C-alpha cells in the first residue's frame, strides 16, 4: 500500500479502498476532506460514477441518433451494429416475443459493460466493484422477471409455475416440495447475479492494484513516483473479462425471462 501511496502522492484513505487504485474523488477527499460537498461525494462515489456512466451512454446514443444518415458515420455505424447484435442475441433466445425486452436487456448489457470498463480509466472507478451496485441491478432484473411472469401467465398461472405445474397425482404430491424450492430458486437468482459480477470486477481491481504496486516497488530507489507498467497485460485481460461478465449477466437475465414466459408455441411445434 505504501508503494501505491508513493505513486499517487496520497494515502489510501480507508481499508475499504485498500484494494483499488485511487480515483479523482479519493484525491479530492484526501486534500479537501472536511468539506461537506467533498465528503458527500466520497460517501456516494459509487453512485456518482454510476450516474456518470449513465450520462455518458445517454450522450453517446443521443449523438448517434441525432440526424441519422442513410450512409452512417463511424459513431452511428458502431451504435447500429451494437443494437442489431443485441437484438439478434436476445430474440434468438426469447423468440419474436423477446423484442419487447430488447430495450431493457440491451441497456443492461451496455450499462454494465461501461461500468466495468470505467475502472480501467485513470482517475475513474468501476461502480460494479461495489456490492450495492450489483445488488441493485440484480433486484431490477428480479422484479421485472416476476412482473413478466405474473403478466404473461396471470396470478394463477404464476403460482402454478412456482408449484412445478402439477398435472397428475404425483405432481400434486410434490407441490409441498417444489413450491418452496422454486421460491428459494427465484430469490437465489439475483443473489448469484450480483455476487458473480461483484466478485469478478473486484478481482480485476485487486489484480491491477497489486501489479501497479509491484511496478512501483521495482523502481522504489528512485526519488520520483514512477513504476514499471506491469499491469498493462492485465488491462487487456480486464477488457476481456469486463465484456464477458456483462454478457453473462445479460445472458442469465434473458434466460430468467425465458423461464417465466409461457411456452405454448414450443409445445404446439413439438
* 0.75 exceeded by pTM: yes
pLDDT tens digit sequence for 143-158: 999 999 999 889 998 8
Backbone torsions φ then ψ of 69, nearest 5 degrees: -120, 155
Residue 129 class from Cβ within 10 Å (0-12 exposed, 13-18 middle, 19+ buried)? buried
CB 42 within 8 A of CB 17: no
* Whole-number Å distance between alpha carbons of 69 and 73: 8
Q: Element (H or E) spanning 86, and its range?
A: helix 74-94
Give the pLDDT confidence of 149-189 residue by residue, as tens digits.
Answer: 999 889 998 898 888 888 888 878 888 888 899 899 999 99
pLDDT in tens, 56-113: 999 998 988 888 777 778 888 888 899 999 999 999 999 888 899 999 999 999 999 9
What pLDDT digit, counting tens, does each position of 193-202 carry?
999 999 999 9
Please compute the mean of the pLDDT values over residues 124-130 and round it to a whole number: 94
Count Cβ atoms below 10 Å from residue 51 Cβ, excluding itself: 12
At 13 the pLDDT is 43
- Domain definitions of the chain by residue range: 2-269
Half-sphere exposure of 192 (CA within 13 A, CB side): 12
At 233-267, the pLDDT tens digits run: 889 999 999 999 999 999 999 999 999 888 644 44
Amino acid at each position: 500500500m505504501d508503494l501505491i501511496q508513493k505513486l499517487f502522492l496520497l494515502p489510501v484513505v480507508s481499508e475499504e479502498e485498500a484494494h483499488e487504485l485511487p480515483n479523482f474523488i479519493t484525491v479530492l477527499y484526501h486534500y479537501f476532506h472536511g468539506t461537506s460537498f467533498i465528503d458527500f461525494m466520497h460517501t456516494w462515489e459509487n453512485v456518482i460514477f454510476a450516474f456518470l456512466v449513465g450520462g455518458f451512454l445517454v450522450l453517446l446514443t443521443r449523438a448517434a441518433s441525432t440526424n441519422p444518415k442513410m450512409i452512417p458515420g463511424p459513431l452511428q455505424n458502431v451504435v447500429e451494429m451494437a443494437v442489431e447484435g443485441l437484438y439478434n442475441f436476445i430474440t434468438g433466445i426469447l423468440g419474436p416475443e423477446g423484442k419487447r425486452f430488447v430495450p431493457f436487456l440491451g441497456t443492461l448489457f451496455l450499462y454494465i459493460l461501461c461500468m466495468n470498463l470505467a475502472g480501467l480509466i485513470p482517475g475513474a472507478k468501476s461502480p460494479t466493484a461495489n456490492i450495492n451496485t450489483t445488488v441493485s441491478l440484480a433486484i431490477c432484473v428480479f422484479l421485472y422477471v416476476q412482473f413478466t411472469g405474473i403478466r404473461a401467465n396471470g396470478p394463477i398461472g404464476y403460482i402454478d409455475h412456482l408449484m412445478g405445474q402439477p398435472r397428475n397425482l404425483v405432481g400434486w404430491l410434490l407441490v409441498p416440495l417444489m413450491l418452496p424450492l422454486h421460491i428459494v430458486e427465484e430469490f437465489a437468482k439475483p443473489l448469484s447475479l450480483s455476487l458473480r459480477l461483484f466478485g469478478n470486477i473486484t478481482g480485476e481491481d485487486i489484480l491491477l492494484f497489486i501489479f501497479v504496486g509491484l511496478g512501483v516497488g521495482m523502481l522504489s530507489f528512485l526519488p520520483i513516483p514512477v513504476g514499471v507498467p506491469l499491469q498493462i497485460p492485465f488491462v487487456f485481460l480486464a477488457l476481456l473479462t469486463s465484456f464477458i461478465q456483462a454478457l453473462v449477466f445479460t445472458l442469465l437475465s434473458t434466460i430468467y425471462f425465458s423461464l417465466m414466459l409461457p411456452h405454448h408455441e414450443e409445445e404446439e411445434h413439438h
